[in-house]
C-alpha cells in the first residue's frame, strides 16, 4: 500500500527546513558585525533617495556623479559631526574617570537660595554641610553614586573606535546602495510578494514610510536644535562646547530636548558672575527646546504619524542594547513594527490589499525611495 505524497515527503521537508535554517543562521553569524552599518546605511539611503534622484537629474542623468555628491554630503553632514561628537565625549569621559572622587569640591550656596520660601533654608543648611565637608567625607558620600555613572560612561565611550568604524562602513554601503538602489528595491519587494503576496509588498512600502518619518522628523529636528544650541553656547562663551553639543544631540534624538546641556552652561555662567549671559542662555534654551513642538510634527507628517512614546522607547532601548548606533536603529525598528502591525490589524476592517497602503506613501515597483528597507 503506497503512502500519500505529503506523508512520503515529510522527512525531506523536515531536513530541507533544518538545512535552510542552519544556512540562514550561518549567514547571520557571518554578517553580524556588518548589520548595524547595513541597517543604518539602508535608512539613510531610503530617507535621502529623492534628493539623489534630483541631483542625478541635474547632472544629466549620470548616476556616478550623483552618488559621489551624496557620499560627500553625507561625509560632511553626518559622519564628520558624529565622529567629532563621539571623540569629544570619549576624551571628556577619559578625563573624568581619571579624576578621583576625593578631588571633588562643593562650592558655597548662593545667597539668594536662603530667601526661597519653605525649602530654601533647609537646602542651604544641607548645602553648607557638603561645602564644609572634607574631601574624604565627600568621597565616602559620593562614591556609591558617581562611580557607577563614570563606569557606564567609560563603557559607552570604550566603543568609540567601533562606532567610527561603523561610520566609515556605513558611508561605503551608502555609496553601494545609491548605485544599485533600484535593483535592491526590486529584490526586496519580490521577496515580500513571494512571502505574502500583495500585502507583503505593501508592508515593505509601509516600512519605508516609517524609516523616512524617523530619519527626517527625528534626526532632522535634533540637528536643527543642536545647531541652535551650540550657537547659543558659543555666543555666551561656555567652555567644552563640543562635549555639550554631542550630549545635546543625543538628548534631542532621545526626545529629551536640549535643556540639560544648556542649563549646565547657564549654571556655569551664573557661577562665574556672567548673570546677563546666563539669563540670555536660559531664554535661548526655552526657545530652542520649544522648537521641536512645531518642527518635528511638520517633518513627521510628511512620512508617517508615529507616537512620541514609541520613538522615545526605541531610542532608549536602542542605546542600551546597541550603543550609539542604536539611537537610530531602535526607533526605526519599533516604528516599522508599529506600522506593519497596524496595517495587519486594519485588514480585518477592509481586506482589500490596495487599502493597506496610503496613497501618499505608495511608490512604483522599480524605485527604492519608499520601498527599500
The model's pLDDT over 289-334, given as tens digits with 9 standing for 90+, comes to: 888 777 877 777 666 666 777 777 877 787 777 766 676 677 777 8
Round to whole Å and give the CA distance between 153 and 258. 19
- Burial of 364 (C-beta count, 10 Å sphere; 0-12/13-18/19+): exposed
Whether 88 shows a pLDDT value over 70: the answer reads: no
d(CA 303, CA 297): 10
**pLDDT (tens digit per residue) in 192-212:** 888 777 777 777 777 777 777
- pLDDT tier at 231, thresholds 50, 70, 90: very high
> Locate cell 513594527: which residue?
337
pLDDT band at 371 (very low <50, low <70, confident <90, very high): very low
| Burial (CB count <10 Å: 0-12, 13-18, 19+), residue 353 | middle
Give the pLDDT of residue 364: 42
Q: How far apart are CA 96 and CA 106, in angstroms?
A: 16
pLDDT at res. 258: 87
- Return the C-alpha cell found at 112: 539668594
pTM (2 decimals)?
A: 0.61
Mean pLDDT of 223-232: 90
Cβ-based neighbours of 211, under 8 Å, separated by 6 or more: 42, 43, 46, 47, 332, 335, 336, 373
Q: CA 21 → CA 25, 34, 263, distances in Å?
A: 6, 20, 53
Q: How many CB atoms lie within 10 A of CB 28?
A: 10
CA-derived radius of gyration, the chain: 26
Return the C-alpha torsion angle 152, 157, 158, 163, nearest 10.
Answer: 130
Q: Is residue 350 a contact partner of residue 326, using CB atoms and an 8 Å limit?
A: no
Q: What is the pLDDT of residue 237?
A: 87
* Per-residue confidence band for 256, with pLDDT thresholds at 50, 70 and 90: confident
Q: Show Cβ contacts of residue 296 under 8 Å, excluding neighbours closer than 6 positions.
A: 217, 218, 221
pLDDT value at position 361?
43
More confident residue, 191 or 79: 191
Is residue 197 a contact partner of residue 238, using CB atoms and an 8 Å limit? Answer: no
> Can you give the pLDDT at residue 96?
52
Cα 229–Cα 231–Cα 235 angle in degrees, nearest 5: 120
Q: Which three cell numbers stand for residue 178?
A: 545609491
Flag whether pLDDT at 66 surpasses 70.
yes
Amino acid at each position: 500500500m503506497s503512502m500519500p505524497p505529503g506523508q512520503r515527503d515529510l522527512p525531506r521537508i523536515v531536513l530541507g527546513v533544518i538545512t535552510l535554517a542552519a544556512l540562514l543562521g550561518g549567514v547571520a553569524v557571518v554578517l553580524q558585525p556588518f548589520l548595524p552599518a547595513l541597517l543604518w546605511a539602508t535608512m539613510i539611503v531610503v530617507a535621502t533617495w529623492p534628493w539623489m534622484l534630483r541631483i542625478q537629474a541635474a547632472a544629466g542623468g549620470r548616476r556616478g556623479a550623483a552618488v559621489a555628491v551624496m557620499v560627500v554630503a553625507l561625509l560632511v553632514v553626518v559622519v564628520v559631526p558624529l565622529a567629532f561628537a563621539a571623540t569629544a565625549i570619549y576624551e571628556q569621559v577619559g578625563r573624568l574617570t581619571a579624576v578621583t572622587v576625593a578631588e571633588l569640591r562643593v562650592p558655597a550656596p548662593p545667597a539668594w537660595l536662603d530667601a526661597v520660601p519653605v525649602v530654601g533654608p533647609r537646602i542651604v543648611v544641607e548645602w553648607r554641610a557638603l561645602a564644609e565637608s572634607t574631601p574624604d567625607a565627600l568621597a565616602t558620600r559620593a562614591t556609591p553614586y558617581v562611580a557607577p555613572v563614570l563606569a557606564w560612561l567609560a563603557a559607552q565611550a570604550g566603543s568609540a573606535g567601533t562606532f567610527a568604524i561603523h561610520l566609515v562602513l556605513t558611508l561605503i554601503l551608502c555609496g553601494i546602495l545609491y548605485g544599485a538602489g533600484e535593483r535592491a528595491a526590486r529584490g526586496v519587494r519580490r521577496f515580500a510578494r513571494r512571502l505574502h503576496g500583495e500585502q507583503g509588498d505593501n508592508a515593505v512600502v509601509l516600512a519605508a514610510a516609517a524609516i523616512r518619518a524617523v530619519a527626517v522628523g527625528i534626526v532632522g529636528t535634533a540637528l536643527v536644535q543642536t545647531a541652535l544650541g551650540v550657537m547659543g553656547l558659543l555666543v555666551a562663551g561656555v567652555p567644552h562646547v563640543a562635549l555639550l553639543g554631542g550630549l545635546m544631540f543625543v538628548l534631542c534624538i532621545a526626545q529629551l530636548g536640549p535643556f540639560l546641556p544648556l542649563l549646565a552652561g547657564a549654571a556655569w555662567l551664573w557661577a562665574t558672575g556672567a548673570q546677563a549671559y546666563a539669563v540670555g542662555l536660559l531664554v535661548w534654551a526655552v526657545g530652542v527646546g520649544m522648537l521641536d513642538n512645531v518642527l518635528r510634527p511638520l517633518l513627521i507628517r510628511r512620512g508617517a504619524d508615529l507616537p512620541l512614546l514609541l520613538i522615545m522607547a526605541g531610542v532608549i532601548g536602542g542605546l542600551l542594547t546597541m550603543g550609539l548606533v542604536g539611537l537610530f536603529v531602535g526607533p526605526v525598528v519599533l516604528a516599522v513594527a508599529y506600522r506593519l502591525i497596524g496595517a495587519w490589524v486594519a485588514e480585518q476592517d477592509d481586506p482589500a490589499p490596495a487599502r493597506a497602503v496610503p496613497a501618499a506613501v505608495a511608490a512604483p515597483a522599480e524605485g527604492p525611495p519608499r520601498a527599500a528597507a
